[in-house]
């Protein structure tokens, strides 16, 4: 697929004409990252931003002691690392490829020039940034006002509702990563996640087999959130 076609498939550039897409594609570079390869590090000078063409990019922040807080996963059609393109600051978080990932890269200089010529693109980007800011506020609220157990239960209930599969054991879901990756997402450490999963299993609410979880009582699990 040509870069112009790739750009057209992203919500950010979908309204551009073919001629406008071709102009932007001429300033765009295709890159491929291996699973586990970092696209950019938090604090690094911003050279430009990436649009995911294929694969997944996990965004995260890391503390001085090495703990990580997951901020989200970006998939095909979404942009990553776009905010410092405009404020001249460094990348506010790190981005790493979860699987082999193909991206379209646009340099900061080229994109700023393009936005001056096409201000509607800048307005669309503001809407994207606004949506991402709302998600970040949601993460902050969850980390500030809920316990690790509540965050884990909330995640399990969401997975059951969105991706759950009915089986003889209950509603089966696949955890989004191992216990360390789950801990990063929930803002805690691996041992705490393991302990809470075992407690929920002891309470008869679920059965845990590595990343595969059978939720035996979804209503009972959801009721824990209301009782909190």
CATH code, residues 146-227: 1.10.10.10
Task: Say if CB 81 and CB 40 are below 8 A apart.
Answer: yes
pLDDT for the residue 228 = 58
> 149: which 2 tokens?
């157990």
pLDDT in tens, the chain (228 residues): 588 888 888 877 877 788 888 888 898 999 999 999 999 999 999 999 899 999 999 888 887 777 777 787 888 888 888 878 877 789 988 999 999 999 999 999 998 888 888 887 777 777 767 776 777 677 677 666 678 888 888 888 888 888 888 888 888 888 877 777 777 778 777 888 888 888 888 888 888 888 888 888 888 888 888 765
pLDDT for the residue 65 = 72
pLDDT for the residue 117 = 84
Domain residue spans of the chain? 3-144, 146-227
pLDDT for the residue 37 = 95
Say how far apart CA 76 and CA 91 lie, in whole Å: 20
Task: Say if CB 56 and CB 177 are below 8 A apart.
Answer: no
pLDDT for the residue 85 = 83
pTM over 0.85: no
Say how far apart CA 161 and CA 173 lie, in whole Å: 10
Q: What angle do CA 61, 135, 185 make, to 5 degrees?
A: 45
* Domain over 3-144 is classified CATH 2.30.30.30: no
Calculate the alpha carbon distances from 42 to 59, 107, 176 in Å. Answer: 10, 17, 23
């Amino acid at each position: 697929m040509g870069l112009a076609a790739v750009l057209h498939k992203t919500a950010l550039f979908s309204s551009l004409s073919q001629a406008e897409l071709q102009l932007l594609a001429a300033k765009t570079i295709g890159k491929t990252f291996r699973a586990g390869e970092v696209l950019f590090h938090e604090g690094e000078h911003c050279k430009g931003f990436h649009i995911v063409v294929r694969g997944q990019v996990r965004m995260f922040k890391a503390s001085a002691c090495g703990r990580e807080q997951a901020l989200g996963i970006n998939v095909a059609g979404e942009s990553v690392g776009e905010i410092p393109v405009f404020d001249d600051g460094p990348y506010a978080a790190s981005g790493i490829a979860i699987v082999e990932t193909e991206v379209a890269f646009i340099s900061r200089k080229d994109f700023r020039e393009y936005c001056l010529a096409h201000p509607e693109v800048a307005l669309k980007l503001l809407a994207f940034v606004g949506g991402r800011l709302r998600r970040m506020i949601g993460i902050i609220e969850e980390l500030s006002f809920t316990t690790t157990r509540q965050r884990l239960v909330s995640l399990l209930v969401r997975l059951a509702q969105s991706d759950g599969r009915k089986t003889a054991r209950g509603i089966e879901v696949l955890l989004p990563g191992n216990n360390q990756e789950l801990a990063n997402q929930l803002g805690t450490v691996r041992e705490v996640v393991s302990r809470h999963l075992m407690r929920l299993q002891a309470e008869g609410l679920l059965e845990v087999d590595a990343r595969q979880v059978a939720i035996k009582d979804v209503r009972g699990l959801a009721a824990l959130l209301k009782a909190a």
